Amino acid sequence: MALRAALRSRSGLSGLLSQRSSCSSDIRMCVSPLLVPQERNYSTPPKIRVEFDQSTGVAVMHMQSPPVNSLSLDFLTELCISVEKLEMDKSCRGLIITSAQPKVFSAGLDITEMYGKSPEHCGAFWRSVQEMWLKLYGSNMVTIAAINGSSPAGGCLMAMTCDYRIMADNPRYNIGLNETQLGIVAPFW
């Protein structure tokens, strides 16, 4: 993949790193410690798989939550913890986020998290959404969304919080903020 080849070259990565260094310190201050780690259910397979290449300093995060990588509370919690772990490893300078699912990068917020749930659950869910984008947007790593499938609504939000987006050239793949069609408006935060 051309993207990975570019990132493997040290000069390519340092170029990207220098482009973002001007704003990263300000952004860091915006990160809120809202995420309360959920207990990991070890009976289910991980929804996030991370491959870190020490020689390049680049990690690839594969979203692997069938069928469509919808952003559930568990998924978001796992994603945030993975980003946090990479963030703490100073040798990790770049992060590529991509999907292990065919045709879909992420279907956005998991609709089942927003129907028939208690106010407490909804609160925890929306906090995890906020935590996800703050973590990615405020990351000191160079973040890249390698969008290899459709990415509506929250999937688009996730991609937008990365420093760079590269999307597979396929007319069947859609991306955009369509959530108002579902009657969903992002709450004020």
- Binding string to ligand LFKQWZQV for residues 102 to 141, with x set by CB under 6 A, is what? -xx--xxxxxx-----------------------------
Long-range pairs for 183-187: beta carbons < 8 A, 24 or more residues apart: 184/109, 184/114, 184/153, 187/126
Q: Which stretch binds ligand LFKQWZQV (CB under 6 A): 12-20, 67-75, 84-92, 134-142?
A: 67-75
Question: CB atoms < 10 A from the CB of 176, how many?
Answer: 11
Does 157 bind ligand LFKQWZQV (CB under 6 A)? Our answer is: yes
Q: Tell me the two tokens of residue 37.
A: 């780690």
**Which of 6, 31, 81, 186 touches ligand LFKQWZQV (CB under 6 A)?**
186
Report in angstroms how near the CB of residue 153 gets to ligand LFKQWZQV at its nearest.
3
Q: Which stretch binds ligand LFKQWZQV (CB under 6 A): 37-45, 46-54, 87-95, 175-183?
A: 175-183
**Which of 35, 76, 83, 153 touches ligand LFKQWZQV (CB under 6 A)?**
153
Does 154 bind ligand LFKQWZQV (CB under 6 A)? Our answer is: yes
Match 């390519």 to its residue by tokens.
12
DSSP state at residue 180: G
Instruction: Specify the residue, 16 or 75, whose C-beta has the smaller distance to ligand LFKQWZQV.
Output: 75
Are the C-beta atoms of 148 and 168 separated by less than 8 Å?
yes
Q: Name beta bridge partners: 95.
A: 59, 143
Report in angstroms how near the CB of residue 157 gets to ligand LFKQWZQV at its nearest.
5
- Spell out the residues 6+ positions from residue 53 whose beta carbon is closer than 8 angstroms to its own: 59, 60
Instruction: Specify the residue, 68 or 134, whose C-beta has the smaller distance to ligand LFKQWZQV.
Output: 68
Report in angstroms how near the CB of residue 125 gets to ligand LFKQWZQV at its nearest.
11
Q: Is 155 exposed, middle or buried (0-12, 13-18, 19+ CB in 10 A)?
A: buried
Q: Name beta bridge partners: 27.
A: none
User: Distance (Å, rounded) from C-alpha 114 to C-alpha 132?
Assistant: 17
- Enumerate binding residues for ligand LFKQWZQV (CB under 6 A): 67-68, 70, 103-104, 107-112, 150, 152-154, 157, 178-179, 182, 184, 186
